Structure formats: C-alpha cells, structure tokens
Amino acid sequence: MRKKSRGSVRLIELAIFGGLMLAVAIALSLVVGLTSIAAFFSPAVPTSQPVVLAGSLPTPAPTVTRTPVAAPTPAATPVVASSTPTGQVLLTSYLRTDPRVADDTRQAILCPSDSIEYTAQRTVEDLVWYRVRLVQPAADCNASRAATGAEGWASSNVLSPPSGPVAAALP
C-alpha cells in the first residue's frame, strides 16, 4: 500500500475547507436575499403626519438693528447666593462614614428617590465619592434608613449627577 504524500493530504483538506466556505456563502446570500426581498414587498408604514415639502420661495435677508447700550451705573452689584448642589439617590445603598466600601463604614440606608445635597467630593481608587446630606426622605424602604439631616459618604454609582459643581473634600 502506498502512502499519500503530505502535500496531497493538505490539498484535500484545503478542498474540503473551500467547499464548506462556498456552502456557507451560498446559504448566507440566500438568507440575506430573502430578507431583502421581503422588505421590498412589505407594505409601507403610514406616518402619523403628512409630509409637507417646502417650495422654493426666496427667504428675506435678516436685518440688523443696532441698539445703543447704556453704560452700567456704579450701583450695588447683586450678590448671587451660592446654592448647594442637589440630587437624588438612584439605588438603595449605604450612607457611609468614610468614602470606601467596608462593613465598618456602614452608617444608615439611603432609599431610592431620597433628595440629597452634595457637600463635598473625593476620588478614591478611580471612583468618585460624594459627602451628602439627606434633605427629604422618599418612601420608606428599610427600617435602618437614614434620618433627615443625616450626613455621610455615598458612591457616585448610586446617586444622580449633582445639579452643580461640588467642592473637593480635604484629604
């Protein structure tokens, strides 16, 4: 019995692989083709509003009117009161004594939709933590929930973005 050369075995393997690839390509083209044909023959979905095409009417050029501006008077400048940024709790979570996840930092429970004020922020290991104060509790979600006025740290993962800039906490 004669042994087949290594090259002929390789050639047979390539022929089988090529045949399989051709079969897959034909099946794929049939599936895609049928999908395209079905989309072509499906009825159009009516729109809720008729489409109105604008005509080719000329648009008037805008006019520029210059109004003289009065010089500011040296009257008292109003002082803008800085408001504390606010937000909400998104997920049930712990109010913590320190900006880190550990059993000994658990202080109380924050419930979803609790209204909070942001008093400071700190980044710890690529995670932003906020020092918050509970302003208005939402529906009771836990017996160990935080009381109104409670302060502590909460992860940015469980809070809405603050309504304004938050000062950085001292290390």
**Residue 63 counted as domain residue:** no
As for how many domains the chain has, the answer is 2
Instruction: Give 54: exposed, middle or buried? Use CB within 10 Å, 0-12, 13-18, 19+.
Output: exposed
Tell me which of 20 and 25 has the higher pLDDT: 20
Output the pLDDT for position 170.
79
Tokens of 45: 């979905």
Q: Are residues 90 and 26 in the same domain?
A: no
Q: Are residues 28 and 91 in the same domain?
A: no
In this prediction the pTM is: 0.52
Indicate if the alpha-carbon torsion angle 33, 37, 42, 48 is positive or negative: positive
**Residue 20 counted as domain residue:** yes
Most confidently modeled range among 6-10, 63-67, 81-85, 134-138: 134-138
Range of the structural domain that residue 23 is part of:
8-37
Tell me which of 18 and 74 has the higher pLDDT: 18
Question: What tens digit of pLDDT does each residue of 121-167 get?
Answer: 999 999 999 999 999 998 888 888 999 999 999 999 999 999 999 99
**Residue 126 counted as domain residue:** yes
**Residue 94 counted as domain residue:** yes
**Residue 49 counted as domain residue:** no
Output the pLDDT for position 80.
47
**Residue 64 counted as domain residue:** no
**Residue 1 counted as domain residue:** no
**Residue 66 counted as domain residue:** no
**Element containing residue 35 per DSSP (H, E):** helix 6-41
